Amino acid sequence: QAKALFDYNVFLIGFMGAGKTTIASELERKLEMHRIEMDDMIVKKQGMSISEIFDEYGEIYFRNLESNCLIELQKVKQGIISCGGGVILRPDNADHMKKNGRIVLLTATPETILERVKDSDERPILNNHMNVEFITDLLNQRKDKYRAVADVIVATDGKNTDQICDEIIAKL
């Protein structure tokens, strides 16, 4: 695998469990790009876990932190940025990503998503809703927003990490 060097940021977006974190780590290794995990940035800044932020301050507060994070990331040049699953909920966020990067959407079926997230206790949005019906509903609500901002779309079902990375690199 030759090292591809992008002169822009690569933003990975998609639903929880689509594989953003796994793929970002692999791209970091393969392409020697600087990786940034938006959720980790928020956790570090607040000194609280994502669940604690949701519990104590609520979703809107979390979304504000997420938006601020993207504004801050405008100073990053050639990073691989793994976004939280809800980053497409605000149109301004997409504008901030588009300015200095390309957006890669990772997709997966609700069944695959459930399989990947079912043991997680750090997905407050799915608390008490770890079932395929809820995931399908939320995915349907968000689907068009994900697709509208994506420059590249890669389906992850049944593919391994290597295949997914190669597909992203080929399409970027």
CB of 6 or CB of 54, closer to ligand S3P: 54
Q: What is Dmax (Cα atoms) for the chain?
A: 46
By CB under 6 A, name the one of 10, 125, 164, 165 that touches ligand S3P. 125
| Rg, Å, the chain Cα set | 15
The C-alpha atoms of residue 21 and residue 83 are separated, in whole angstroms, by: 9
From the annotation, which residues make up the binding site for Mg(2+)? 21
CB of 15 or CB of 168, closer to ligand S3P: 15
By CB under 6 A, name the one of 16, 27, 114, 139 that touches ligand S3P. 16
Residue 86 sits in the site that holds ligand S3P (CB under 6 A): yes
CB of 123 or CB of 159, closer to ligand S3P: 123
The C-alpha atoms of residue 55 and residue 40 are separated, in whole angstroms, by: 17
Residue 124 sits in the site that holds ligand S3P (CB under 6 A): yes
Neighbours of 167 (CB within 10 A): 17
Please say whether the beta carbons of 140 and 90 come within 8 A. no
Question: Among residue numbers 49 through 78, which ones bind ligand S3P (CB under 6 A)?
Answer: 50
Question: Among residue numbers 126 through 145, which ones bind ligand S3P (CB under 6 A)?
Answer: none
CB of 40 or CB of 170, closer to ligand S3P: 40
The C-alpha atoms of residue 57 and residue 165 are separated, in whole angstroms, by: 36
Residue 110 sits in the site that holds ligand S3P (CB under 6 A): no
Number of chain residues interacting with ligand S3P (CB under 6 A): 10
For residue 75, what are its two tokens?
């100073």
CA dist 22 → 26, 49, 163, 165 (Å): 6, 19, 13, 10
Binding residues vs ligand S3P (CB under 6 A)? 16, 20, 39, 50, 84-86, 123-125
